[in-house]
């Protein structure tokens, strides 16, 4: 029964790139934008940390953007997805580390997540290029084919 539920869950969250784009594209665009601004020194206000709260489908959809649609099944209550921006060893080099906390585990220790097609940690520019098809939505009405 659980496997049927997981398949239904995937069908309404990450079945197509369009679904992923419309469900969480704007959120991920904001995250990538903040990271890019931090790298460029233009982030206002200049914060070191942002927190977002969401649901299990938020985590699942972001996993879908990262090419990890089958990762973790259904996110349990208390689960967290962490994206950390780090300076690389060379000037101008930045990496993103992705960690996941399974809310159903006893220790709640974060585990590193490897993004397919990207070394660990993932180069920021590469991650941005790999995920850009999921954001830059300028007109939700036309994207969702909503007529006035």
Asked if residue 46 is part of any domain, the answer here is: yes
Asked if residue 142 is part of any domain, the answer here is: no
Task: Identify the CATH number of the domain in which residue 22 sits.
Answer: 3.40.50.1240
Residues of the domain holding 120: 2-135
Helical H segments across the chain, by residue range: 2-13, 17-40, 56-65, 124-131, 140-143
Dist CA 48 CA 66 (whole Å) = 23
Residues 46-83: tens digit of each pLDDT: 899 999 998 888 998 999 999 998 776 788 889 999 99
- Report the number of distinct structural domains present in the chain: 1
**Residue 2 confidence (pLDDT):** 63
Q: What's the number of CA atoms in the CB half-sphere (13 Å) around residue 130? A: 19
Asked if residue 140 is part of any domain, the answer here is: no
Residues 93-117: tens digit of each pLDDT: 999 999 999 999 999 999 999 999 9
Asked if residue 51 is part of any domain, the answer here is: yes
Asked if residue 122 is part of any domain, the answer here is: yes
- Quick count: other Cβ atoms within 10 Å of Cβ 29? 17
Asked if residue 144 is part of any domain, the answer here is: no
Query: Mean pLDDT over all residues of the chain?
Result: 89
pLDDT band at 1 (very low <50, low <70, confident <90, very high): low
Asked if residue 148 is part of any domain, the answer here is: no
Asked if residue 96 is part of any domain, the answer here is: yes
Residue 145: is its pLDDT beyond 90? Answer: no
């Amino acid at each position: 029964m659980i496997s049927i539920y997981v398949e239904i869950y995937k069908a309404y969250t990450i079945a197509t790139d369009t679904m992923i784009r419309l469900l969480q594209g704007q959120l991920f665009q904001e995250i990538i934008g903040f990271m890019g601004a931090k790298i460029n020194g233009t982030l206002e206000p200049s914060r070191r940390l942002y927190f977002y709260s969401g649901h299990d489908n938020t985590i699942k959809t972001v996993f879908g953007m990262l090419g990890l649609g089958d990762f973790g099944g259904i996110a349990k209550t208390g689960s967290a997805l962490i994206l950390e921006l780090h300076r690389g060893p060379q000037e101008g080099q930045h990496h993103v580390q992705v960690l996941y906390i399974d809310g159903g585990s006893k220790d709640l220790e974060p585990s590193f997540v490897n993004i397919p097609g990207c070394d660990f940690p993932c180069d920021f520019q590469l991650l941005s290029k790999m995920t850009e098809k999921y954001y830059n939505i300028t007109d939700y009405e036309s994207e969702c084919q909503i007529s006035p």
